[in-house]
Chain A
C-alpha cells in the first residue's frame, strides 16, 4: 500500500495556490492571444492587450493575476489503494492557508456568511472523488466571486430539449453582461441532481479550452459571440473564450442545468502524487 504523508499534501497544495494565482493557465493565455490578433474593435483590442500584459507582469513579478484570489475550490482524486498518514482535510486547509499567506494573497474568506466578521485564509470547498489505483491528483481552482456571483441554475422540464437548454445558458451570459470580466469561459453542468449539476459546471472549467469541443459547445460559443458584449463589455468580437460542458445521467422527471461563469482570469493548477 502506498503511503502519503499529510505534510506532503500540505506542501503540494500550498505550491498549487501560488502557481494558480501567479501563472495564467496556458490554454487561457493562448486563446487570449489568438483573440487579440483577431479583434478589430480598437477598444476591445486594447482591453485584451491589458489582460495579456497583466498576465506577463503577474508571472514575472509574482503578483496575483487578480486581487480577488478567490475562494479556493479543491478537487481531489484519491486512489483507493493509498493510505494517508495524518488528516487529509486539515492538510489541504493548512496548505491553502500557507500558500495564500506566502503569496500575500487576499484574505477573502469569512467564517460566517451572515454575520461576516473578520476575513482570513482559512477555508476551501473540497470535492473528493475515490478512484481505483494508487494515484492522487489534486487541483486548486481559486474562483473569483465577481463571476461566481453570476452563476445560474435551473431545473428545466425533461421535455425542454436542446433549444431551451441553449436559451438558458445564453441568457445567463447576457445577464452577466459586462460586469464579470469578459471575455468569459462558460462552464456548464447538465444532468445529475441540483447539487451535482453545480459541481459539474465547476468541473467543466477545468477542461482545456482549446481541446476539441462538441457541436453544442460550438453552437453556444457562436450564439454568445453574437451578444456583442466583448472584452470588458465594451463591444467587440470576443465575449467568450470557450464554452465547456459536463453531462451526467439524470432522472426521467428532470433536466438540471447549471451555468458557472468564469472571468478571463480562469486560474487552476494540478499536481499528481
Chain B
C-alpha cells in the first residue's frame, strides 16, 4: 500500500503501476458530465496538477461532512479528458474502463487514472474530511466540490506508462 498526497508530483505518479493500491490524501475536485461540458470552455479552478473525482454526491445530511459520494462511470467523461490532461490535469478517480484515446493521453501527459470502490458511497464518505462547493452551484449534485480527503483507498487503473488494469 502506497501513501500519496496532493498536489501530486511527477515522481509520485511515475512510481505508480496499474494494479497498485494507494491511499490518497489532500484536495480533489468533483466533476461529472455537465461540469465537464463547462470545464473545457473555462476552468473554475487551477487544473495544473489537479485531481478530478468523477462523483455527484447526495445532499449532505445534518451533522455530516458529506453524503454518499462514490465514483460514477468514467467513460462518459472520455470525450473531454484529453484536453484537460493537455492543460495539466494529473489524475482522475472513477470507475470502469477508459477509451483508447484517454489511455494514450494519460501516457503522453504522464498522468494517472485511479479506481475507487464502486457502489460504496457511504463508506467513501468516511474518507472525506472537508467538502466545499467551488463552482457551478446551479448544477446541484453536478456542481464542482473541493473535497479534502484522508487515506482515500484507490487502485491504479491506468498508469503513466499507459498500462491498464483491465489489460
User: Which residues of A are interface residues toward B (Cβ below 8 A)?
Assistant: 43, 47, 50-51, 53-55, 57-58, 61-69, 103-108, 116, 118-120, 146, 149, 177-181, 232-234, 263-265
Q: Does B155 contact A (CB under 8 A)?
A: yes
Query: Using Cβ atoms and an 8 Å threshold, which residues of chain B touch A118?
Result: 138, 140
Residues of B in contact (CB 8 Å), total 39
Contact A64 B58 (CB under 8 A): yes
Tell me the dominant secondary structure on chain A's binding face.
loop
Contact B138 A106 (CB under 8 A): no
Chain A residue at minimal CB-CB distance from B59 = A104
Query: Using Cβ atoms and an 8 Å threshold, which residues of chain B touch A62?
Result: 61
Contact B96 A67 (CB under 8 A): no
Contact B118 A232 (CB under 8 A): yes
26 interchain pairs (CB within 8 A)? A43-B19, A54-B117, A58-B68, A58-B122, A62-B61, A63-B58, A64-B67, A64-B121, A64-B122, A66-B119, A66-B121, A67-B55, A67-B68, A67-B69, A67-B141, A105-B59, A106-B67, A107-B141, A119-B140, A146-B72, A177-B96, A178-B95, A179-B95, A180-B73, A234-B155, A264-B119
Query: Using Cβ atoms and an 8 Å threshold, which residues of chain A touch B17?
Result: none
- What's the Cα separation between A181 and B166 when bound, in Å? 14
Query: Using Cβ atoms and an 8 Å threshold, which residues of chain B touch A47?
Result: 117
Query: Using Cβ atoms and an 8 Å threshold, which residues of chain A touch B96?
Result: 177-180, 233
- What's the Cα separation between A181 and B71 when bound, in Å? 10
Query: Using Cβ atoms and an 8 Å threshold, which residues of chain A touch B155?
Result: 43, 234
CB-based closest 6 A-B pairs? A179-B96, A54-B120, A104-B59, A58-B122, A64-B68, A54-B123
Contact B58 A57 (CB under 8 A): no
CB interface residues, B 61-119, toward A, < 8 Å: 61-62, 64, 67-70, 72-73, 75, 95-97, 115, 117-119
- What's the Cα separation between A107 and B34 when bound, in Å? 14
Query: Using Cβ atoms and an 8 Å threshold, which residues of chain A touch B153?
Result: 50
Contact of B123 among A57, A146, A234, A263 (CB under 8 A): A57
Extra 7 A-B pairs, beta carbons < 8 Å, given A119-B140, A119-B141, A179-B75: A57-B126, A63-B58, A63-B121, A106-B59, A179-B73, A179-B95, A265-B119
Q: Does B6 contact A (CB under 8 A)?
A: no
Q: Does B23 contact A (CB under 8 A)?
A: no
Contact B141 A57 (CB under 8 A): no
Contact B58 A177 (CB under 8 A): no
Contact B122 A65 (CB under 8 A): yes
- What's the Cα separation between A67 and B53 when bound, in Å? 14
Q: Does B8 contact A (CB under 8 A)?
A: no
- What's the Cα separation between A250 and B19 when bound, in Å? 47
- What's the Cα separation between A69 and B142 when bound, in Å? 14
